[in-house]
Structure 1
Amino acid sequence: MNYTLHQLQVFLKITQTQSITKAAEELHLTQPAVSIQLRNLQDQFEIPLTEVIGRRIFITDFGKEIAVAAERILNEVHAINYKTLAYKGQLIGRLKITVVSTGKYVMPYFLSDFLKQHRGIELVLDVTNKAMVIESLEKNEVDFSLVSVLPENLQVDNIELMENKLHLVGNKEQEFKRQLHEKSILETIPLIYREPGSGTRHIMEKFIKQNNLPVIKKMELTSNEAVKQAVIAGLGYSIMPLIGIKNELSNGDLQIIPVKGFPIKSNWNLIWLKNKSFSPVASSFLDYIQKEKSRTIQEWFGWLEQF
């Protein structure tokens, strides 16, 4: 047997996702690279690990047993790495964080220097919708979560990371007067919404309800990127977090439409379960955030003050 740790890692991810495409995405590899690793692993066994029916891949019973063994082997490798680093006196372990989709423009900048200082920490960062973020926190599956709207029915502690500004945006095709528009402009243009449960949608709907605006809902999309591309393509307008449209504003693909009452403001919050027992890694990260928050904001997000 000549299988490699990389082959086992790829195969385990395939069994977890039930898809070569999804495995490739999560491992940041190309689909051909994943297929090659699967084939090289399969060549070492006379019994099939997978079978393809139609366009779907299925894991055989034998393959499932190999996946269990692969996970055990990979966990042991992680343990060896951790023990080596611990012997050297380094902080080791996993840091698990879930982030709402727009939070992917925020969280990496608060993690970068911390992870550089502690090479023994393995980051597990899951970017998903708000409902899944809160669910993972409620089940105590993660150390922290990043949200723009605090959960109402869950007892949490939090630290405010930075301000979240939302503006009405459109593409570059239609010209708008530079003057400040009345809020009633929202009644005359087709609006693109995020999906139910999205923090951005919650803030948007709260503003519309408070101002009693009978708006035109054009469509509903499931990610900030999808909304952004739809607005650029001219399918409608949307209220979007400024943090996610920096490049599009710079190159002119999007424009901010000045409206009274905008920007709508909320806060990005790092939250955790009340009375949670922190691991040394999580505790160290929280200390780092409290000490370095202002510097990180100034270094990476100073441009937000222009809007």
Structure 2
Amino acid sequence: MNYTLHQLLVFLKVVETCSITKAAEELHLTQPAVSIQLKNFQDQFEIPLTEVLGRKIQITEFGYEIAKLVKPILDQINSIEEKTLAFKGQLTGKLRISVVSTGKYVMPYFLGDFMKLHKGVDLVMDVTNKSKVLESLENNEVDFALLSILPKDMNLEYMDLLDNDLYLVGDKKSTLEIRNYSEDIFKDLPLIFREKGSGTRQTMERFIEGSKINIQKKMELTSNEAVKQAVLAGLGYSIMPLIGIKNELQSGQLKIIPVNGLPITTKWRLVWLKGKKHMPVPNAFLDFLNTEKCRILDTFFADLV
């Protein structure tokens, strides 16, 4: 037997993702490179680790047993690297953040320079829907979450990062003129909503309910990107966060329809459980944001603030 650490890493990632394609993406390798490493690892066993059923790779019972042994080996290797960096005086450890889907346009800019400064920090950032973000936060599975609307039933601390402005948006072929409309305009528009539970959906519904508008036609889609593509295709209008559509506005593919009462402004907030005792890496990230937040806003969000 002559396993390499690279083979162990590739095999474990294939087991975790049940996909050569996804493993390749997460490891920043090509699919052929992953397939070759997997084959070289498999060739050292007489019992199959994986099998292909249809077009999908499946992990055998033996494969799962081997993966259980591989994981602590790789964990120990990571510990060696972390100890080495620690003895050199560098910050080491994990930073775990859960981000609502639209937050993907925000959070990376607040992380970039921090990750460059601290090479020993591993970032685990999950971009998902609001309910899963709140679940991971409540279960103390993450250090921080990025939200635009805070839940009322959770005891949280937070740091404001950026204003979140939401406008009524249509595609470039919209016949609506660029002038101020009353809220009555919504009665005749086909509106596109995010799924229930989304922060954008909640903000949109509060505005509509507060204006006592009776919506006639509406669609529901499960991501901000899907809503944006639907608006671009001329399927309807939506109230959308400016942060996610600024490129399309600049290129003229989308246009803002001015309406009384808009924009709606919420805050992008980095939140954590009240009283949480942060480890050194999350503490260092908070210190970094306290020092660098204004510079980051000026550098990347000057056209939004």
Give the residue type in structure 2 aligned to 1:240: M
Is the counterpart of residue 77 in structure 1 residue 77 in structure 2? yes
- Taking the aligned partners of 1:181 and 1:262, their CA distance within structure 2 comes to 10
Matches within 5 A, 1:37-76: 37-76=37-76
Cα 1:26/1:297, change in 2 over 3 Å:
same
Cα 1:18/1:302, change in 2 over 3 Å:
same
- Taking the aligned partners of 2:203 and 2:5, their CA distance within structure 1 comes to 45
- The corresponding residue for 1:5 is 5
With the length of structure 2 as denominator, give the TM-score of the two structures.
0.95
Cα 1:184/1:18, change in 2 over 3 Å:
same
- Taking the aligned partners of 2:126 and 2:29, their CA distance within structure 1 comes to 18
Matches within 5 A, 1:1-307: 1-305=1-305
Cα 1:126/1:217, change in 2 over 3 Å:
farther
Q: Deviations over 1:256-284 (max 9, x none)?
A: 11111111110001100111011011111
- Taking the aligned partners of 1:62 and 1:151, their CA distance within structure 2 comes to 44
Cα 1:170/1:37, change in 2 over 3 Å:
farther
8 Å CA contact 1:162–1:269 kept in 2: the answer is yes
Give the residue type in structure 1 aligned to 2:152: E
- Taking the aligned partners of 1:168 and 1:28, their CA distance within structure 2 comes to 38
Residue aligned with 1:89, SS: coil
Q: Deviations over 1:101-127 (max 9, x none)?
A: 100110111111111111111111111
Give the residue type in structure 1 aligned to 2:119: R
8 Å CA contact 1:101–1:129 kept in 2: the answer is yes
Could you tell me how far 1:218 is from its partner in structure 2?
Answer: 3.0
- Taking the aligned partners of 1:34 and 1:221, their CA distance within structure 2 comes to 34
With the length of structure 1 as denominator, give the TM-score of the two structures.
0.94
Could you tell me how far 1:29 is from its partner in structure 2?
Answer: 4.3
Could you tell me how far 1:210 is from its partner in structure 2?
Answer: 0.9
Could you tell me how far 1:179 is from its partner in structure 2?
Answer: 1.3
Deviates more, 1:11-20 or 1:183-192: 11-20
Cα 1:73/1:269, change in 2 over 3 Å:
same
Could you tell me how far 1:37 is from its partner in structure 2?
Answer: 3.2
Could you tell me how far 1:245 is from its partner in structure 2?
Answer: 0.8
Q: Which runs of 5+ in 1 are unaligned?
A: none
Runs of 4+ in 1 over 6 A off after TM superposition: none
Residue aligned with 2:57, SS: strand
Aligned-residue CA RMSD (Å): 1.6
Equivalenced residue count is 305
Could you tell me how far 1:28 is from its partner in structure 2?
Answer: 4.3
Cα 1:190/1:34, change in 2 over 3 Å:
farther
Deviates more, 1:52-61 or 1:136-145: 52-61
Residue aligned with 1:164, SS: strand
